[in-house]
Amino acid sequence: MPEKSGLNSPRSSSKAFAWLFRPSPLHQWRFHFLTAMVFVSMVVVWSIDGCTIKSFVESLRSTKPQLITAAKFRPQPTASLAQENPHRENFTTADADFTLRNETAIFASSSAAADAPASPILPLGRDVLNGSSNASAASSQEDGLLVQMPVRMEEESSGGDAEWVTAELEANFTSGLLSRWLAPGGEACKDSHTEEIAIPDLDGKKGILELTAGHSHELIFQAVDESKNPRCSGGDYFESDLSGQTWKSRPLVKDFGNGNYSITLQVHPDFAGDYDLTLILLYRHFEGLKFSPGRFAIDKELRKLRVRFTATGNIQLPQLKACSNSDFSRDLWVGRWTRHGKNDDCKISYDGRYRCLPSDFPCRNPWCRGSLGELESNGWVYSTHCSFNLYQPDSGWNCLKNRWIFFWGDSNHVDTIRNLLNFVLNLPDVKSVPRRFDRNFTNPNDASQSVRITSIFNGHWNETQNYQGLNSLRNDGFRDLLKKYFTEDTVPDTVIMNSGLHDGIYWPNLRQFAGGADYAARFWGEVMDSVRRRGLAAPRVIYRTTVTTAGDARKMAFNPSKMEAFNWVVLDKFRRAGVMDGVVDDFDMTFPWHFDHRCSDGVHYGRAPLRMKWKDGEIGHQYFVDIMLAHVLLNVLCAR
């Protein structure tokens, strides 16, 4: 048929589809327009949070191995705040873009084994602490310190011939930090990059640095560029670590804002001995505060010094007292972990727990009071400007009976509540608690004693999602949910709140987070005022600072530099709004254990004991840091 031959002829086909191959001015114009739009979009993305194309290019160039290598930290799957099921608070991981992966890809099963036979337990008394056995080598759980933004050093007014080092949040902290963060450069010493430090008092000297125990010792150091020229602006973020066999602390680092910094060292005479002092440059000039800080992480060990603290016998620090109600009014803690017993042969048990010391192993006054064995820490305990009581089930229930405790925060609250119920209040059958719940718990040994615990997850207004933080309060339904609990005939007597990890991912820059913190402070101020207008006593509000993120999370959007700054912004905003009554500084408590994953999956320190392969490749993990937090919270709730 002629029409069929016409359809199949090459000539007819080329005419029919000639438009496909003919250049079109309209198509060319569209192509150029789309190309230009893609380029503009890339510029906009790169400019978020002050990140210019120049800094992006420089970040690609700054890949020298000595600047980014940290032999102590093995590559691990990155930590995540997300969970496939919000009612199962198990560890999960995520890629750098926070794409979820199943936790079972991380854990390898391990056959259960019976508890190890009892081993000799060594009480660490003063005679042991002062002996050669206190000489320490760097452990896999190196502790450190970090306090970066300007703080004012002060001394205690109590008696004694030496004083404890303390710190105070600077007045108008948020505005001061924003001013420094936005300060222009324009000078070579400001625009250069920190590559090293110079310590005039130590550089060129060999041997052990010898210091007197009890006194505080402040060492000045200078940030310098690759040509050893001094820098004249601050904002570098240093991690510091003072570690011995029986003492772990975060020496206070002070930023003078002009390229000069100081680090203050102090060890109690009872713990005299040899220590390792480590100083790490984690981020340069506020770069940890960026929206996507990973490519700016330096993580370079600048110094590792051997320090010997010697007790002279005539220098004593004021004895720590048990924490009272007023002790929790202090915004910044400068604490330490001390060790008062150990079992070198302690093995993980079939249920993932480390029962290294007898449950009635006593605390050593004045560092703690109660049973140290209950912490399952193999002798470690935390103290700060005061020391804490460690509670037994009876004393814990006597503290909490007929009370209503309201938690508002991230999933670390979920872990802490479960650990409080399991380890302190003797409710082991509570295997988990969801992100959002309101429930009464009863003393299994005394039905007349119960406590109401309400917990509202604030990582997102939708409890099944993540990465909103304080911005969750912008949701009308979420605000109404929170207000509902404060309109009943009775209201919570204490509110324990926290935010930070999810904020680190959500807020594009520091200025916008400060606005979110301001909004949160106003919201909670209005809630408390509404309670007072009804003639009721407003709940006591305790802010629990965000944990120090650990291991590979140190280079992520919720890195320690950003979390510490966010903690201090919230404290500043809440204090100014008259909302906050007390502080528990969990950032200081967790910092000595944040250099690896032995005590944390990166963002959680209280994951339930489990005899399975952990993130660092070992079987099981340490969970005592969060149990210590549970006891500290009981001290807040019960202190007089």
Ordered by start, the domain boundaries in the chain are 128-310, 325-638
DSSP string, 272-329: -EEEEEEEEEEESTTGGGSSS-GGG---EEEEEEEEEEE--SS--PPPP-B--GGGGG
User: Before 362, cis peptide (omega within 30)?
Assistant: no
> How many contiguous H segments (helices) and E segments (strands) does the chain have?
17, 25
What tokens appear for 557 in the block? Answer: 């959007």
* pLDDT number for residue 102: 28
Three-class SS of residue 481?
helix
CATH topology of domain 128-310: Immunoglobulin-like (2.60.40)
3-state secondary structure of 534: coil
Q: Which residues of 340-349 are buried (b: 16+ CB within 10 A; e: fewer)?
A: bbbbeebbbb
Do 538 and 528 form a contact (C-beta atoms < 8 A)?
A: yes
Q: Among residues 337, 334, 314, which one has the least CA distance to residue 248? A: 337
Cβ within 8 Å of residue 316, ≥6 positions away: 160, 161, 162, 214, 269
Dihedral sign for Cα atoms in the order 106, 111, 114, 116: negative
Pairing of strands 209-212, 300-310: parallel
Output the six-digit token pair for 481.
């949910």
Confirm whether pTM is higher than 0.85: no
Q: Report the alpha-carbon distance of residue 585 to residue 156 in Å, rounded.
A: 18
Q: Which two tokens stand for residue 208?
A: 């052990």
CATH T-level fold of 325-638: Rossmann fold (3.40.50)
- How many whole angstroms separate alpha carbon 254 and alpha carbon 202? 18
Measured between alpha carbons, how far is residue 477 from residues 528, 595, 619 in Å?
Answer: 19, 39, 43
End-to-end CA distance of the chain: 104
Mean pLDDT per 10-residue section of the chain, whose length is 640 residues:
39 39 49 60 44 36 30 37 40 30 28 38 39 32 33 37 91 93 90 94 88 95 96 96 97 96 96 97 96 95 96 89 95 97 94 95 95 96 97 96 96 96 95 95 96 97 95 97 96 96 96 97 97 96 97 96 97 95 98 97 96 94 98 94
What Rg do the C-alpha atoms of the chain give, in angstroms? 28
d(CA 501, CA 600): 14
Give me the sign of the Cα torsion angle 270, 271, 272, 277.
Answer: negative
The rounded distance, in Å, linking the Cα atoms of 302 and 280 is 5
Residue 105 per-residue DSSP state: G
Residue 32 has a pLDDT of 62
Torsional class of 376: left (φ above 0), alpha (ψ -120 to 50), beta (otherwise): left
Cβ-contact 495, 462 below 8 angstroms = no
Place of tokens 């060129």: 204
The runs of H, that is alpha helices, within 22-171 are: 25-46, 53-61, 65-68, 126-129
> In whole angstroms, what is the distance from residue 561 CA to residue 281 CA?
11
600 DSSP 8-state letter: -
Count Cβ atoms within 10 A of the Cβ of residue 186 and give its class: 0-12 exposed, 13-18 middle, 19 or more buried: exposed
Residues belonging to the chain:
640
Say how far apart CA 191 and CA 74 lie, in whole Å.
32
DSSP classification of residue 78: P
State the number of CA atoms in the 13 A half-sphere of 243 facing the CB. Answer: 23
Q: Which amino acid is at 464?
A: T
Token representation of residue 519: 């909004």
Cα–Cα dist 510/21, whole Å: 52
Work out the number of other CB atoms within 10 angstroms of the CB of residue 520: 25
Query: Using the 8-state DSSP alphabet, how is residue 551 labeled?
Result: G
